[in-house]
Amino acid sequence: MEKIFDCLINSFIEDNIGIADNFLSISLAANLKENLNLLFKSNKLLSAGVGNNQIITQNKLIRSDVIYWLDRKHNNQHENAFFDLMDKFIFYLNSTCYTGITGYEFHYTLYETGAFYKKHIDQFQNNGSRQYSMVMYLNADWKIEDGGELCIYQNDEQLNISPSNGKSVFFKSSDLAHEVLVTNKQRMSITGWLKVN
């Protein structure tokens, strides 16, 4: 476990973009993916910004994914296993890097074929509580022609990261602009933020 945490943290320290393959075990990734599939089939996934039609309409030009927030109150075994893993990671991150993270939020995310998320920064303009962004992918056998890469911009360079199964990507929410390129296949993930209050 600590080896995989170190892998994510060390690559982050090296060039501001942490990447760890196999951050999620194959079984946890498969179980979370099954949860997400069930949520999709029962129409539980919604566009971000729900409740405000104007915001949703504006948002759809920027992003076309649909989401569902994870919550320990769901008493779902696999969601709780995911939160246990995140609790361990945050304890490790805080003890080794003095990051002072006090909370987090995570949602399931599904991009249907043709969906995208245009270039953006994750921190809200009026709220600086999101410190680190973290994405974990749930897509077995992702191929180059499937598209849907996470593209991160840094110093006139761009890094394209394929959303392959179990991989985690970690970066500072206020710093790095990034986008999700159009996906040619259904693309699933868990996306979240580590926060200070």
Nearest approach in angstroms of CB 68 to ligand OGA is 13
Q: Does 122 bind Ni ion (CB under 5 A)?
A: yes
C-alpha atoms less than 13 angstroms from C-alpha of 41 in its C-beta half-sphere? 6
CA–CA dist 171, 13 (Å, integer): 10
115 binds ligand OGA (CB under 6 A): no
DSSP 123-157: SBTTB--EEEEEEEE--TT--GGGB--EEEEETTE
Radius of gyration of the chain (CA): 16
Q: 180 touches which of ligand OGA, Ni ion, none (CB within 5 to 8 A by kind)?
A: ligand OGA
Nearer to ligand OGA, 96 or 170 (CB): 170
Query: In this complex, which beta carbon is closest to ligand OGA, that of residue 69 or of residue 91?
Result: 69
Q: By C-beta, is 1 or 44 nearer to ligand OGA? A: 44
32 interacts with ligand OGA by CB under 6 A: no
**For ligand OGA, which is the closer residue by CB, 58 or 96?**
58
- Restricted to residues 128-187, the positions that interact with ligand OGA (CB under 6 A) are 135, 150, 163, 178, 180
Taking alpha carbons only, the member of 142, 136, 154, 129 closest to residue 185 is 142
Triad 27, 30, 31: Cα angle to 5°: 85
Under the rule (CB under 5 A), what is the footprint of Ni ion? 122
